[in-house]
Structure 1
């Protein structure tokens, strides 16, 4: 039974016409994450961005003006090719990690393709949810292009 979303929780859903295993590769493997991770306008990412095993991850996204945005967490659940879940926390300019939230990506086979559902729970405020909604919406446009390439 799926837990109800709170007001500040986010849910994104897509239906892709490719197999679950292929979508799972794209959302977990470092070489594919680079194609879609971070909102549009991110020039590059640095760090240890790998969702193929439980444990720590981090990503510093660098925009076209050179501004850096660091986020990190732990991969907490991995059930290939259906689920990857991880914690999420932004770092400030002194590299102190802020409030922690939780992201879960669930993939299921549907109509010969893949239903992609991502939830981001436990965001600290309505403003944080709005900012993450914009960021994830932009990133998922890049994911759509990567999956459909």
Structure 2
């Protein structure tokens, strides 16, 4: 049986700004990764190099501008979470003058990987919330 993680964060920025921080490679690199190829349309590539050792790979399955993204996800060279083995769904909901980001990551193989990815998503969603609100999240402590 596979595992699913759920995470939410409120960001002090409009939906369009948050959407851009999830789909524009230059904006993504302000909060996560070292290089990105992102084609935000169904069938488009999701390729994000975290560092010299880890690259996430998948493809977009759903793109509804400023409201929703879904893409397959996994890691190059990773036996338990290979490319396109999981699904990430991100809903952007207008709330309290900002945007509620609701993330679901399904298809993780076990509790250990769910916990590892939950830690990573918590870290990166915090960094995105700072960057999308106009701040500087600083150097990435997980990207060493």
Pick from 47, 57, 63 the counterpart of residue 46 of structure 2.
Answer: 57
The root-mean-square deviation of aligned C-alpha atoms, in Å, is 2.2
2:2 is the alignment partner of 1:14: no
User: 2:26 corresponds to which residue?
Assistant: 31
| Contact 1:51-1:84 within 8 A present in 2 as well | no
2:41 is the alignment partner of 1:46: no
Separation in 1 of the partners of 2:29 and 2:49?
12
Separation in 1 of the partners of 2:9 and 2:83?
29
| Contact 1:101-1:123 within 8 A present in 2 as well | yes
User: 1:116 corresponds to which residue?
Assistant: 101
Q: Which runs of 5+ in 2 are unaligned?
A: 135-144
User: 2:140 corresponds to which residue?
Assistant: none
Pick from 112, 115, 122 the counterpart of residue 127 of structure 1.
Answer: 112
Q: Which runs of 5+ in 1 are unaligned?
A: 1-5, 39-44
| Contact 1:30-1:51 within 8 A present in 2 as well | no
| Contact 2:2-2:106 within 8 A present in 1 as well | no
| Contact 2:72-2:84 within 8 A present in 1 as well | no
Q: Higher mean Cα deviation, 68-77 or 52-61?
A: 52-61
- Paired residues, number: 131
**TM-score, structure 1 as length reference:** 0.78
Whose radius of gyration is greater, 1 or 2?
A: 1
Separation in 1 of the partners of 2:59 and 2:124?
20
Separation in 2 of the partners of 1:115 and 1:131?
23
Separation in 1 of the partners of 2:20 and 2:88?
17
User: 2:55 corresponds to which residue?
Assistant: 70
Displaced runs of 4 or more, over 6 A: none
